[in-house]
Chains A and B, each alone.
Chain A
Amino acid sequence: ETGVTQSPTHLIKTRGQQVTLRCSSQSGHNTVSWYQQALGQGPQFIFQYYREEENGRGNFPPRFSGLQFPNYSSELNVNALELDDSALYLCASSPQGTNTEAFFGQGTRLTVV
């Protein structure tokens, strides 16, 4: 059973640029959620994807968008990067329809300069 994997682990971008982060969900899990963890804060829910459609969204602007693919992997895209977007981005996968724990990847550390 493979766990949740995210890529890249670190990257540095310039303000105004666009970035794509990737996530492979745990085997058998068809739901993927993305979280942003700023320094000294807990993870904040960005959005969730189920069956390739957005299935709930947190308080993030439209320049945060995502995709889910038929194999349940997912991408998080952020356009027009701002300095405050610097954070750890976490992907979590879970099986659909169960009120159970989500399994997290190791995260992608994004720095915007």
Chain B
Amino acid sequence: DQQVKQNSPSLSVQEGRISILNCDYTNSMFDYFLWYKKYPAEGPTFLISISSIKDKNEDGRFTVFLNKSAKHLSLHIVPSQPGDSAVYFCAASDPSGGSNYKLTFGKGTLLTVNP
């Protein structure tokens, strides 16, 4: 039972264009959402997050949108750069079971930005 789903295993875009990565979730208890980027042989690196009380958060070239009613979030990267090529993981924070939250991850989307 996968609670966080990234239905696109891969995405290819041209440099300078917009990259849109999508994520769906099923658990309505999730209250905080994060995007991580992962290069081969490295651990995931935090990119941007959004609380469930907001519908948009922006940080430079990265914007995350949250649609709670649809249980859907997306990450927009504008403009895309070749260095953005990596696997992107969507993660959701579950408030149950402790004072600090465990993360539930999707399977990831491989983004390739072509020069």
| A107–B43 touching, CB < 8 Å | yes
Q: How many chain-B residues does the 8 Å CB contact rule pick out?
A: 29
Bound CA–CA A94/B105 (angstroms): 17
Residue from A4, A50, A96, A101 within 8 A of B43 (CB atoms): A4
Residue from A42, A56, A99 within 8 A of B105 (CB atoms): A42
Residue from A4, A94, A106 within 8 A of B41 (CB atoms): A106
Which residues of chain B in 27-45 are interfacial with respect to chain A, using CB atoms and an 8 Å cutoff?
A: 31-32, 34, 36, 41-45
Write out the residue numbers on chain B whose beta carbons fall within 8 Å of the beta carbon of A96. Answer: 99-100
The answer, yes or no, to whether A62 is at the interface (CB within 8 Å) is no
The interface bits of chain A over 93-113 (1 if a CB of B lies within 8 angstroms of the residue's CB, else 0) are: 010111111111111000000
Bound CA–CA A6/B41 (angstroms): 13
Q: Which residues of B contact A (CB under 8 A)?
A: 4, 6, 31-32, 34, 36, 41-46, 49, 51, 89, 91, 93, 97-108
